């Protein structure tokens, strides 16, 4: 499937992802070198979507670990199902089982609550294909979790004291994303192939709209794309990504519109800008200026 970089681009296109050559090269190398991909970029530029489309391409399971402040190893790896263990202990005691027999039974995989990392390690033992493991927004997690993650990514094996060492038979396809709200440690980046996903060019954004929203008129798609390209040049707190572009285009179609005018833009501005300060800035600095407003609405 990934014989050449051009093949990667065409395969991604088949499942609805428009990739430039630099991103396709990173995916190609990640596949052949079996190294994780580390994707950074502003929110909404398509980082998470890379993992989703790769799971579709390889027809395998997508396992997602959503990072957050305070995430620890037990939440990412495994926990023992204590209520189930207690219930089983009572049943064994009533049947006359010895302490040794009870301990042997309750510390088995059937009593493990598998969190994303353990699930990814065990998946290839039961399935022919390795899964796609998405570690989403690693910058939201603490540095201590990064250190733990380094160990897992090095050899994809874990040691559970009561069971022993469990190792993945096939290395998962790993995609790590970051919105760069903080710097991620160099040690983690060194184990990955790095790529920055920037806001799309006019041509790329236009192609994405045409691909993701079948039936949209070409002129309308171009008008939306020009509007979004100009909007990103404004110094907002949060510039809109391609996900906001698609949300807005679908909202406009749901309202049976096929062109932009002053009224519809103001009515739907919340689809694009997500901060009250940004909306006020847009209204005062752009929409209140006749010439700038006309520039934004050019077809």
What pLDDT, in 10s, does the model give residues 53-100? 999 999 999 999 999 999 988 899 999 888 888 888 888 777 887 777
Q: 47-51, 64-68, 293-297: which range is least confident on average?
A: 293-297
CA torsion through residues 237, 242, 243, 248, sign? positive
Environment class of 64 (CB within 10 Å of its CB; exposed 0-12, middle 13-18, buried 19+): middle
Please provide the average confidence, as pLDDT, over all residues in the chain: 92
C-alpha to C-alpha distance for 111 and 25, rounded to whole angstroms: 42
Q: b/e for 112-134, b at 16 or more Cβ within 10 A?
A: bebbbbbbbbbbbeeeeebbbbb
pLDDT of 28 strictly over 80: yes
* Whether residue 222 is found in the same domain as residue 104: no
pLDDT of 142 strictly over 70: yes
Residues 6+ apart with CB under 8 A from 183: none
* Whether residue 46 is found in the same domain as residue 177: yes
Q: Report, as an integer, the average pLDDT of 147-152.
A: 88
Q: Report, as an integer, the average pLDDT of 287-296.
A: 91
* Whether residue 101 is found in the same domain as residue 219: no
CB 135 within 8 Å of CB 63 = no
- pLDDT (0 to 100) of residue 23: 96
Summarize pLDDT for 231-260 with one digit per residue, the tens: 999 999 999 999 999 999 999 999 999 999
- pLDDT (0 to 100) of residue 1: 75
* Whether residue 50 is found in the same domain as residue 174: yes
Q: Indicate the pLDDT class of residue 299, thresholds 50, 70 and 90.
A: low
**Both structure tokens of 208:** 């994405």
* Whether residue 160 is found in the same domain as residue 47: yes
282: DSSP letter: I
Q: Which domain holds residue 226?
A: 202-296
Summarize pLDDT for 213-227 with one digit per residue, the tens: 988 999 999 999 999
pTM (predicted TM-score): 0.89
C-alpha to C-alpha distance for 255 and 283, rounded to whole angstroms: 22
* Whether residue 150 is found in the same domain as residue 52: yes
Q: Report, as an integer, the average pLDDT of 124-147.
A: 92
CATH code assigned at 62:
3.40.50.300
* Whether residue 102 is found in the same domain as residue 208: no
């Amino acid at each position: 499937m990934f014989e050449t970089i051009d093949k990667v681009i065409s395969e991604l296109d088949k499942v609805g992802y428009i990739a430039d050559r630099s991103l396709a090269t990173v995916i190609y190398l990640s596949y052949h070198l079996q190294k994780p991909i580390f994707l950074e970029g502003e929110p909404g530029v398509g980082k998470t979507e890379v993992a989703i489309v790769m799971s579709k391409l390889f027809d395998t399971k997508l396992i997602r670990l959503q990072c957050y402040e305070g995430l620890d190893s037990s939440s990412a790896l495994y926990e023992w199902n204590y209520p189930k263990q207690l219930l089983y202990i009572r049943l064994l005691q009533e049947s006359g089982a010895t302490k040794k027999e009870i301990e042997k039974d309750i510390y088995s995989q059937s009593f493990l609550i598998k969190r994303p990392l353990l699930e990814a390690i065990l998946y290839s033992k039961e399935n022919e294909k390795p899964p796609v493991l998405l570690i989403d927004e690693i910058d939201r997690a603490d540095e201590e979790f990064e250190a733990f993650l380094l160990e897992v990514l090095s050899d994809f094996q874990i040691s559970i004291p009561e069971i022993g060492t469990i190792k993945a038979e096939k290395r998962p396809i790993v995609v790590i994303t970051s919105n760069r709200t903080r710097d991620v440690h160099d040690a983690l980046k060194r184990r990955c192939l790095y790529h920055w996903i920037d806001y799309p060019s006019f041509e790329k954004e236009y192609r994405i709209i045409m691909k993701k929203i079948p039936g949209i008129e070409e002129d309308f798609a171009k008008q939306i794309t020009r509007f979004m390209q100009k909007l990103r040049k404004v110094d907002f707190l949060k510039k809109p990504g391609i996900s906001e572009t698609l949300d807005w285009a679908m909202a406009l179609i749901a309202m049976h519109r096929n062109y932009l005018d002053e009224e519809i833009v103001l009515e739907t501005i919340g689809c694009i800008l997500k901060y009250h300060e940004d909306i006020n800035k847009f209204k005062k600095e752009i929409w209140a200026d006749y010439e700038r407003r006309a520039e934004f609405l050019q077809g």
